[in-house]
Structure 1
């Protein structure tokens, strides 16, 4: 693990008077250079990326929500840069997380769709990541929270042994994880390479087929559930909630859903405190607002939006706790904070938790069409905020930035050079992230839904082209459960005049559509856009 002990240390001069003048001058020069390196390292900011899960553009009050108040996220926005054109690169969790860490579009990788419970590590050792870049720059690095990028070799995770490769093999010094996502089994924590608190006398088994005919499921024991399912989430029951997939054993290692956020904050605060005297990078991967939505009891019933709104309140509390720790440790002005989401919102995502019934006038996607699973703006345009007290001046920016750009931008911030064959779609938008005047963001961005499904969109300036190779779209209307909506293969929208993407203008602007279609195909078929 990186520590202050790893940093260059001042040389100690024994007896300068006894040395030839040339040697003395050389030693003094080395000493000055050494001290300069130490100063440069100490001047580099800590970096915290807080990634919410399924949080929509309209889900926080600084972006227009009125049915719920998010004072801690609002405070970040008031003290930093609030982006109106902040994006993730995909509208589901695994591909966005892959792209954020690797700086490469997920459609270029293998098995980058929503990872199954027993999925192997998707990001392989030797891949340049945000974490490895910062680790090389002398940062202590940690990921705490939801992982959902697979663990272990080609055969998948060895739940009772060493979970390798994983985060520690791609640049993180330590990790404390929810290994998949909480609607998928197993409900255990992973600390570095091991399942935490696992009793070898009660081994953990995880599979995709029912282990025995009498194994309780959400179908056979539906009456026992404290949260009913609406589709798909009806296999193994844990904590009164049925999940995707099956598992047995590992009872001493299992957690309560209600305790997840508290555990992430506890572990993160400990990491921050342990590394307050050296530069650190923390990837705080929240599970809120993802299903099953089961916040701690102290948040339940606190909003008019049901459990989904209560989870947004819990997320806002997490942000406040982390910022409080930075203040208590005296390092708020030494820390760059990035707040973002892995994709847009979804209301019914498999559980009957009241999200649709209680939504009222709340617009989770803000003014935009679509949400999670969709390449409409609501699927990938999300809250994105940067704060660095004393360095970033409060402002609102309309520049286009994306979470995929963090690799290149953080490399520039810390003086790291990107390998030519890595981070192939990550652009340096550091000046935008720091709120500098006249800074320019991206001039184009490819968006996708999940894995390699043939559904893409290309935003280029005011124009946005949708491409549906299967002529089907998902989750066009977040407030309902719509699957496989028939659509034309190509659609063109003018975001300047129609940000909600309600009117397809491809017949009015065929030349623009053709140009963007060619550009999108070229980007997809090439190995890079950087």
Structure 2
């Protein structure tokens, strides 16, 4: 069932009745006059491509709930993650800080003896200090050892997996390397999974329980889906429902889950005072062929700093505060979510410096000066800088699927090969979103500006590609063996 806003009807009636204009307050006034702090639901998909939603161009399957979500709020066309890989992307999201600054790289597995440093402040800790009930459901991936679990990082409750759902004995390339996949409730392992078909459904049941139990106070729900990361699993209610196959079925179930959350918020009378944010951690894992998502025509995918790896759907909804159906073309990044929520809720920003900024003006339909955003991969390689419509990609090696490779549709990946970008290249994303044409020679002033931004970032956070050390790096948390 599609979510339907009731405030549209009420607003229309108020106009027809000739209610005084003093009741038609501006969005700024509405922000100040909210009856209580808004609830916040942050939904973070896994390996979902920019082109996986109908509103972003998908045609092989239907995503009516996500399309409706976009219609009800602000949809970004240039919304980025700073790292095209699981753990690093999640660290950046939850702290508002580039993960390389925090010494979090790649995708942590069961052998990692480190995680997000408890001295860092997460969105959950920030909001908890401001009176919020905080809950997490889904994939954590910032350290599986006791000091690094979600309940040590500001969450009152946790139900989900400590890392990616492919880190289990059935991994197609490294069988029996991983131990059984543990399912946690808070700090205890309550099950080990050998079948994930009910995982999305179970996540939603837990999310709805959290909403019901927290409805009388402001709450923050972080719903981090394991799907659409391989291995793909779907419940019987969506098996075979799409035209594309298993990946489409999984997309439809994730879409359904968003509808379930919205219906529960509406049922409890919470929808009008709840912010919903939807995005993903990185682009599709293209080597998995038919078990991977769609880039929407963007270049490359997960594990690269081309836009197919780092540009994601970005949807923000808050009835009566954010405009409906707005398409925002200015670039923003997941590191901006924490400071934006801090401004909206009046929460204190972390004591340690962060890298994001509030994008509330954009969400309210105002202008905001562009800022440079950086894309990192591997161990602190500064691979690209984005500034408005411009993107400069620096020389580096990246993975790609050889042209003519026969792709599979059985959950077994094909092999990447490595390519080298020999020279820096500048792209005008407003006319060349696929990053095909280097326009450096025609725009020397832009090249100089973006190189300056990059040099400042290298001095600040380092860059393995240029052997830059960085002056403002922090340490991850570590459990000594």
TM-score, normalization by structure 2: 0.80
**Change beyond 3 A, Cα 1:475–1:106:** farther
Provide the residue aligned with 2:178 in structure 1: 245
Are 1:473 and 2:407 an aligned pair? no
Are 1:500 and 2:427 an aligned pair? no
**Change beyond 3 A, Cα 1:508–1:266:** same
- Structure 2 matches for 1:334-483, cutoff 5 A? 334-349=273-288, 354-355=290-291, 364-394=294-324, 395-419=326-350, 421-422=352-353, 424-432=354-362, 435-440=363-368, 442-452=370-380, 454-468=381-395, 471-475=396-400, 482-483=416-417
Which one of the candidate residues 147, 158, 167 is aligned to 2:150? 167
**Change beyond 3 A, Cα 1:249–1:278:** closer
- Per-residue deviation, residues 418-451 of structure 1 (Å, max 9, x unmatched): 24533x201111222xx32323264221112344
Provide the residue aligned with 2:95 in structure 1: 102
Instruction: Point out where structure 1 has 5 or more consecutive residues left out of the alignment.
Output: 1-38, 153-162, 187-216, 219-228, 237-243, 357-362
Which one of the candidate residues 284, 292, 303 is aligned to 2:242? 303
Distance 1:87 1:304 in 2: 29
Provide the residue aligned with 2:81 in structure 1: 88
- Per-residue deviation, residues 144-189 of structure 1 (Å, max 9, x unmatched): 100111122xxxxxxxxxx233212221111112111110038xxx
Residues 118 and 150, structure 1, Cα contact 8 Å, conserved in 2: no
Per-residue deviation, 1:119: 2.0
- Structure 2 matches for 1:138-217, cutoff 5 A? 138-152=131-145, 163-185=146-168
- Per-residue deviation, residues 192-235 of structure 1 (Å, max 9, x unmatched): xxxxxxxxxxxxxxxxxxxxxxxxx77xxxxxxxxxx3xx2x31
**Change beyond 3 A, Cα 1:248–1:269:** closer
Larger radius of gyration: 1
- Per-residue deviation, residues 471-511 of structure 1 (Å, max 9, x unmatched): 31124789965431222142221222312100123344445
Matched length: 416
Residues 371 and 476, structure 1, Cα contact 8 Å, conserved in 2: no
Which one of the candidate residues 238, 245, 254 is aligned to 1:315? 254
Per-residue deviation, 1:284: 0.3
Are 1:521 and 2:455 an aligned pair? yes
- Structure 2 matches for 1:281-296, cutoff 5 A? 281-296=220-235
In structure 2, the residue corresponding to 1:382 is in which secondary structure? strand
Residues 43 and 225, structure 2, Cα contact 8 Å, conserved in 1: yes
Per-residue deviation, 1:319: 0.5
Distance 2:120 2:143 in 1: 15
**Change beyond 3 A, Cα 1:121–1:442:** farther
In structure 2, the residue corresponding to 1:474 is in which secondary structure? strand
Per-residue deviation, 1:305: 2.1
Provide the residue aligned with 2:40 in structure 1: 47
Which one of the candidate residues 61, 66, 71 is aligned to 1:68? 61
- Per-residue deviation, residues 307-360 of structure 1 (Å, max 9, x unmatched): 2111111110111111111111110001000011111112334xxx7437xxxx
Residues 95 and 120, structure 2, Cα contact 8 Å, conserved in 1: yes
Distance 1:44 1:466 in 2: 41
- Structure 2 matches for 1:22-37, cutoff 5 A? none
**Change beyond 3 A, Cα 1:297–1:451:** farther
Are 1:326 and 2:262 an aligned pair? no
Q: Higher mean Cα deviation, 116-125 or 312-321?
A: 116-125
In structure 2, the residue corresponding to 1:383 is in which secondary structure? strand
Per-residue deviation, 1:298: 2.4
Per-residue deviation, 1:365: 0.8
Provide the residue aligned with 2:117 in structure 1: 124
In structure 2, the residue corresponding to 1:84 is in which secondary structure? strand
Distance 2:321 2:448 in 1: 43
Distance 2:87 2:377 in 1: 10
Q: Higher mean Cα deviation, 456-465 or 479-488?
A: 479-488
Distance 2:308 2:402 in 1: 9
